[in-house]
Amino acid sequence: MRTTWRGWLICLGLGALTFAPPSVRAQGAVSGQVTLLEKPGAATTDLESAVVYLIPRDPAYEKLRTSKSTIKMHDRDFAPPVTVMTTGSTIRFENQDPFDHNAFSNTAGGNFDFGIADRGSSVAMKLKHAGVYPVFCNIHSRMAAFVIVVPTPYFTLAGSDGRFALNEIPAGRYTLVIWHQRGGELKQKLTVTGAGISGLAISLDARGFHKSEHKNKFGEEYKSESGERY
């Protein structure tokens, strides 16, 4: 069989097309500001708890990286009050108080209970499912925090003024998700270009929020010797 130089060139050309490295998509920043609609006379003091993230609507282009985060139990409180991490990341609770604590979440499909943690001890586990995890202490009812597990590497917390910026976002189609404990969740479709997007104005309605007492990990009311929740 006779092979011509033209045939070799075609084969080489196809090989080049097959094995050429993928092109790098242009990247830009997505920025804006989150605000909360409040009841008349109420002031917003917790905008830094707003979570902002982008979920790609096209097939994933990069591997999701995991991380390790620590929530401290100090002075009968969780710190920080809101933690954001990617699916499969590890959350660690560290007791810095001179008395016992507990950390649990009864989130459907991802509940956990770290048991009793005495002073200086810590416990950790991987959170494999995306979602919102309200975290409480089974001993001290006023302790509360949120762990937000997201299926994307593009996330951030807003600043105290509600402003946010997600940098180095590859051009493409996304769903923008904004979450806040009192304002709920809002989703919006976006198409990000290489120039990025700026000036997004996101408003969440917190006027219908009513703080309610949660139950302990057994679904029962908290009890103490004094009869008070603490």
Confirm whether 25-60+154-208 and 65-151 share one CATH topology: yes
pLDDT score recorded for residue 193: 94
Task: Write out pLDDT tens, residues 13-61.
Answer: 434 333 334 445 679 999 999 999 999 999 999 999 999 999 999 876 5
Please tell me which residue, 8 or 222, carries the higher pLDDT value.
222
Instruction: Name residue, tokens 């006023």.
Output: 142
Long-range contacts of 130-133 (CB under 8 A, 24+ apart): 130/87, 131/107, 132/107, 132/179, 133/105, 133/107
**pTM of this prediction?**
0.84
Give the domain ranges of the chain.
Answer: 25-60+154-208, 65-151
Q: 141 in helix, strand or coil?
A: coil
Q: Residue range 168-180: average pLDDT?
A: 96
Position 6 confidence tier, pLDDT thresholds 50, 70, 90? very low
Q: What's the pLDDT score for residue 197? A: 97
61 or 185, which is more confident: 185
Burial per residue of 201-215, b for 16 or more beta-carbon CB atoms within 10 angstroms, e otherwise: ebebebeebeeeeee
Q: Tell me the fold of 25-60+154-208.
A: Immunoglobulin-like (2.60.40)
Correct CATH for 65-151 of 3.40.50.150, 3.30.420.40, 2.60.40.420, 3.20.20.70: 2.60.40.420
Please report, as a single letter, which amino acid is at residue 164.
F
Higher pLDDT among residues 142 and 26, named by residue: 142
State the pLDDT at residue 174: 97
